[in-house]
Amino acid sequence: MDAETIARLIDASFDVKEFAYSPYSKFRVGAALLCEDGTIISGCNVENSVYPLGHCAEKSAIGTAVSRGYKKFKAVVVSSDMKSTFIVPCGSCRQVLAEFGLDWLVYMTKPDRSYEVKKVRDLLPDAFEKTCLDHNDCQG
């Protein structure tokens, strides 16, 4: 992916992080998806006093993208305020990303705009995949 596109995605992820609702953890996260057609859709984490009801930034971005008709992605950038290490998607988000393919890119950033990049498949080895294309053939 070219440097300009990566920079635009990082900007979008950092920008949306500012809107994160994280009154409990104070851990702000932003995510920006690059759709197959070049559209960028972002999302931030939204916490809830009932912790399991909170929503991760990656899931927020995916949900928004799907609600707009997008289901094919080239990359996602995830950002936080952690300075000592790159932010990585949680296990649940890794599975949600894998739902939309294993060969797209995940850029994990630090506030200084440095990043590490991996494919979804590298973050979730042996991912649970949709293997039953004809539901009449499903067992169980």
The catalytic residues are 58
Please give the Cα distance from 59 to 36 (Å, whole number): 18
C-alpha pair distances (Å), 93 with each of 1, 50, 55, 106: 22, 19, 10, 11
How is 104-117 classified by DSSP, letter by letter? SEEEEE-TTS-EEE
Phi, psi of 31 (to 5 degrees): -140, 140
Please give the Cα distance from 111 to 136 (Å, whole number): 48
In angstroms, how far is CA 104 from the centroid of its own chain?
A: 11
Please give the Cα distance from 102 to 8 (Å, whole number): 23
